[in-house]
Structure 1
Amino acid sequence: MPDAAHPFVTRFAPSPTGRLHRGHAYSALTAWTAARQAHGRFLLRIEDIDATRCRPPFEAAIHQDLAWLGLDWETPVLRQSEHIADYEAAIASLQARDLVYRCFRTRREIAEESARAPHGPMEAWRGAALPADQEARRLAAGEPFAWRLSLDAAAQALGGFEALTFLEEGAGPGGETGTIAARPELGGDVVLARKDVGVAYHLAVVVDDARQGVTHVIRGCDLFEAAHVQRLLQALLDLPCPVYRHHQLRVGPDGKRYAKRDRAETLAELRDRGMSAQTLRRELGFD
């Protein structure tokens, strides 16, 4: 049981790239309820590092929707766009240890390479730094690049991944629970920063969770595999590993999970057609 010496701290961390829907409501209520039951803390974090897609009106709508659901959270709210220097410092730390490399390949080129891999398109992509002269030439030409984590270098730095584990109190998509052996190789050499976005999701998340003292990460099981690479980054950056609690995803009448890209009915639309927050909470299994 959490106590003063071992507090319970969790968070809900949406990106302001659209309006919240039932799936978001379920995840936020799950984390908020867990914090209340544990007499712990519930944080709201705005993951707005993607300046090309995030919009202030969506950020304001997140606050409105969560308040309508009856949730409360600590202030001030952490906004990732205000902490870029911290992410850059983390990347610099990895750069200094030769754990990352510049990758000039486009997403399309990598997809084509992966499709030609011996085990087919599902094989995780891994690369390597270019020779110094080629890299210098491409940098001088102004070619865009991404900083990728080198799994080979990470494995060498840690003496392998065998000791990397994390505790899963919920369940992954295959029912995985308990002490999980991390398998960061499943994700390949992930992008940690790129020109258009700056820092990427995986790096920002582990830095933020450590900064905020998050002890329990409660989120959908679609992010279960992300825990594997995030566990690796925690080890490389000497950051604490929280307990993970992945939950099943909510699906609509068509059996498909609620998603922004599929234009799932938003909480604002539910309000507009007269649904109360209490009705939605009951529908989602709360109250």
Structure 2
Amino acid sequence: MVNDSLVLRIAGRPVGRYITRPELPPRLSPRPYLHPVTTLAGTSVTELSPADHTHHLGVGVAVPDVEGHNFWGGRTFVRDQGPTELDNHGAQRHSAFQLCDPDGFVEELRWVAAGGELLRERRTVAASELTDCAWALDFTFSLTNTTSGPLSIGSPATNGRPGAAYGGFFWRARKEAVAPAVFTLDTEGEEAAHGVCADWVALAGATWTLVFAGATEQTRQDPWFVRTAEYPGVGSSLAHEQRLEIAAGDTVVRRIITVVADGRLERDEASALVRKAVST
């Protein structure tokens, strides 16, 4: 299925595999991704092309609308029409690694669709140990408009589907018999966490917890996209209520740090680990 990958390690222990050139059909919007990502105890906390959403590819960056091109995969939400199969899928193509170490990398990518390149991305990923049972995945992406004019990023929400402002960093989590719990510092449940700007949001399964935190002021202004009942996944919303405009030559930067922990964390534990991860 793949022809190129690298392994992230903490103290020699593998915690994630990064696929740089996946061999995927155009409908899945081919793009680099992390899978499997595991806890320090070895529990996988990602899924790849699950039956419910075959275009969900572990951990990465996915955007459903860049000037009408689909970099998310699957159907495209069309205003007054609904989810529609369109031949509009783009691809994120690995160009080169500027840095490649056991605990992280810096990668250059090209976002291309019919007609050529729309964006260039610099992606910086690093893994660091927090405790004996928790580590942090630090994920930064910078998107530069390389076209001769302005372009904009949209979502199904900005195209007319309420509550579906997905697009940006996205983590498809492990699906279990029971849906994971989700909470922030002061709320609990999918309905309360979805669409809010919280410093962090946690997803807790049977034997694991993921805590997602915006690590820059701009990132913290993006509301969270949260799903637990339909499927377990958390992401950021680059285009929540309106399209995100990027002028020619301009760059949009986002940084999200995810705590990957064994066991089910309490609020105070999640908050303490986030503080440690962001300050490291």
TM-score normalised by the chain length of structure 1: 0.25
- Greater Rg over alpha carbons, structure: 1
Larger relative strand fraction:
2
Larger relative helix fraction:
1
TM-score normalised by the chain length of structure 2: 0.26
Could you say which structure has the greater relative contact order, defined with CA pairs below 8 angstroms and 6 or more residues apart?
A: 1
